Amino acid sequence: MKRATGPGKVEELLAPRGRDDLVQGALLFNFDDDDDAVKPEHRRWLEANAIPLLRPDNGAKALLNGTASKIGAADYNRSLSQRREESVKRFLTSNGVASGRLTATFSGRDLSTSPLADDEHDRAVAVWLQVCDPRRPRVIANRPAPYGTVAPSPAGRGPLPRLQLGFALGAGTLFANVLPSLSGGDVEVRPNEVTSCTVLNAVGREMFLKRAGTPTSSSSQFFASARLFDPNKREADQNGRVKITELVQVVNVRGLSPGKNDIVFTEPASKFVDIVGSVTVLLDAKVFFHFVDGAPGVKTSRTPGVEAAFIEAMNRIYRRQVGIVFASAGANPSLNMPNIKPREGAFGNIGIPIHLGGKTPEQEAIVNNRKTDILFNVFFVGDMVDLSNVLTGDDAEDFLAVTSYSAHAGPPIARLLRALTGPPGRCCMLRDPQKRDSGKVIHFGRVLAHECGHALDEDDITDESKTDHLMFFSESKTTGSKIPFLSAFDMLNSALQFPP
């Protein structure tokens, strides 16, 4: 008979010694009595951990096993446990996980070692995430446990807890215990903050950080923008190198200054053999959005609320590659510019006149409304008309946006030229979608990310072999999302120079 038992619970599991291919396990338990419904707390764990690993084509797999309590007939409990694992499998496949990546079994009450007839841990589905290469050292970035998660016991220390459940694979059964959440070997931290990661399969090796792009040398950790230390020892007594002595070991990470670092492991003889992930110390950057009002062609059709989508698009590109995290600092919902007179361009478009080789009064008047204490100002406008053909005789180009470089980065001569030929720096004007865009694929979020690259002092790339790069530009208005390391380094340095 069905009976509600309260919220679902999650207890993370650790694979036994020798099974380093199983990078994470979790017991999704406290299913309702005589019921197979996957509870919200279980779904949140699957969404945060299993789905991100299983969606990419990386060969990862999941092993599922359903169980039931001792109440009721054994045959019925096996059927009930099967329904539970099938419910979890349906949830994963409905969220884009291929069914071929899932191996599902059920064990009824056979694996219970509880003295209770109705133990909430027995009304469960165990989920194990499996990767292909178990030999390489692995770093798992720790994240705050989701709501409803039972705090795990210290990893790698003390006796293993009782065997709560396992997989019926052939004639044998496997597993149980505790492991922190899997987020991959990419750790993020902010300056002066401390986070942690879990290290597997690296006993006998030393772990340290080197600044990304620097040679792997015995002293390179001194140039890193973060520091590692053993949480069981005084941080002040450590030099940034941690000796891994346990199969599963927690290592703390302190952010020092913005930048990206490689995670390096040595062999016992100090031979460098593995770079298995990165530690990025994030830089928070603010963006202010201005919605320009005025005559038709000047007034934007965009309305407040769209900022979140643009911020999300920018962070998808910059957070992992550069270490910059953008956040909205607010918006002016109506920047009234009544004195700007729209003009007609070669394509019949009417809007704000701009000149890429210098200033126009209209362009300068708009960006003079920038917030000077904000790294990047974005002005949404109705349309723009390029006036370069007035001087050169060239056909007018249909620009999507125009952005000024920063006014202070680079050598003095570059700063002087920018002051003479363009409006104040780090400002972007982004035009509205137009009827003439019909048939074109324009990702305006990526366009704004490209323009932010200019605000961070990067030039356009016209090399047709680099169409996947963010700063690639052509009249087709397409751009990629890749930021090479040297460009990322320059972008971060440019952002660090703000405010001047």
What per-residue confidence (pLDDT) applies to 411?
63
Q: What share of the chain is helix, strand, coil (3-state, %, to 5)?
A: 25, 30, 45
- The structure tokens listed for 203 are 């006993």
Cβ contact 442:435 at 8 Å: no
Residue 42: pLDDT over 90: yes
Tokens 């074109």 correspond to 440
Q: Whole-angstrom Cα distance, residue 243 to residue 44?
A: 35
* Average pLDDT score, the chain: 80
Residue 109: pLDDT over 80: yes
Largest CA distance in the chain: 89
Name the residue ranges covered by the structural domains of the chain. 9-135+143-174, 186-281, 283-496
DSSP 42-75: HHHHIIIIIHHHHSSSS--EEEEEEE--SSS-HH
Would you give the end-to-end CA distance of the chain in angstroms?
A: 70
Question: Angle at Cα 378 formed by Cα 374 and Cα 380, nearest 5°?
Answer: 150
- Which class for 491: exposed (0-12), middle (13-18), buried (19 or more C-beta within 10 A)? buried
- The structure tokens listed for 415 are 């700063």
Q: Which of 36-40, 241-245, 315-319, 387-391 has the lowest mean pLDDT?
A: 387-391
Q: Which residue has the higher pLDDT, 265 or 90?
A: 90
Burial 274-294 (b: 16+ CB within 10 A, else e): bebbbbbbbbebbbbbbbbbb
Does domain 283-496 match CATH 3.30.450.20?
no
Above pLDDT 90, what percent of the chain? 42
What per-residue confidence (pLDDT) applies to 143?
56
Cβ contact 351:401 at 8 Å: no
Cβ contact 178:200 at 8 Å: no
Tell me the pLDDT tens digit for each residue of 462-498: 888 888 999 998 765 578 899 998 899 889 988 998 8
Q: Which of 78, 52, 64, 68 is nearest to 26 (CA)?
A: 64
Residue 392: pLDDT over 80: no
Q: Whole-angstrom Cα distance, residue 45 to residue 23?
A: 15
Q: How confident is the model at residue 323 (pLDDT cuts 50, 70, 90)?
A: very high
- The structure tokens listed for 385 are 């008309």
Tell me the pLDDT tens digit for each residue of 443-470: 999 999 999 998 998 888 888 888 899 9
Contacts of 200 (CB under 8 A, 6+ apart): 20, 23, 137, 138, 139, 140, 247, 248
Q: Whole-angstrom Cα distance, residue 66 to residue 84?
A: 6
Q: Whole-angstrom Cα distance, residue 453 to residue 469?
A: 11
Above pLDDT 70, what percent of the chain? 77
Residue 500: pLDDT over 60: no
Tell me the pLDDT tens digit for each residue of 338-367: 999 998 876 678 899 887 666 788 988 999
Does domain 186-281 match CATH 3.40.220?
no
Q: 275 — alpha (psi -120 to 50), left (phi > 0) or beta?
A: beta
Please give the model's pTM, rounded to 2 decimal places.
0.66
- When pLDDT is averaged across residues 169-195 and rounded to a whole number, the result is 54
Q: Which of 51, 24, 30, 65 is nearest to 150 (CA)?
A: 30
Q: Which of 130, 121, 140 is nearest to 63 (CA)?
A: 130
Q: Which of 14-28, 159-173, 229-243 has the lowest mean pLDDT?
A: 159-173
Beta-bridge partner residues of 24? 129
Cis amide linkage into residue 500, ω under 30° from 0: no
Q: Which of 135-149, 305-319, 359-373, 432-446 has the lowest mean pLDDT?
A: 135-149
Give the torsion sign (CA, 205, 211, 216, 217). Answer: negative
What per-residue confidence (pLDDT) applies to 52?
82
φ, ψ of residue 51 in degrees (nearest 5): -60, -45
What per-residue confidence (pLDDT) applies to 150?
35
Q: How confident is the model at residue 436 (pLDDT cuts 50, 70, 90)?
A: confident
Stretch (H or E) spanning 367: helix 361-367
Cβ contact 496:324 at 8 Å: no
Domain boundaries 9-135+143-174, CATH class: alpha beta
Is 192 strand, coil or helix? Answer: coil
Cβ contact 174:133 at 8 Å: no
Q: Whole-angstrom Cα distance, residue 424 to residue 418?
A: 8
Is 151 strand, coil or helix? Answer: coil
- When pLDDT is averaged across residues 429-441 and rounded to a whole number, the result is 87
- Which class for 16: exposed (0-12), middle (13-18), buried (19 or more C-beta within 10 A)? middle
Q: Whole-angstrom Cα distance, residue 415 to residue 364?
A: 17
Residue 336: pLDDT over 90: yes
Q: Which of 53-57, 338-342, 387-391 has the lowest mean pLDDT?
A: 387-391
Tell me the pLDDT tens digit for each residue of 138-179: 787 775 433 333 333 333 332 223 223 333 222 222 232 222
Q: Strands 350-354 and 384-386, how do they pair? A: parallel
What per-residue confidence (pLDDT) applies to 345?
76
Q: Which of 155-159, 234-238, 403-407 has the lowest mean pLDDT?
A: 155-159
Query: How far is residue 14 from each of residues 128, 131, 290, 309, measured CA to CA in Å?
Result: 9, 14, 50, 38
* Range ranked top by mean pLDDT from 53-57, 156-160, 323-327, 410-414: 323-327
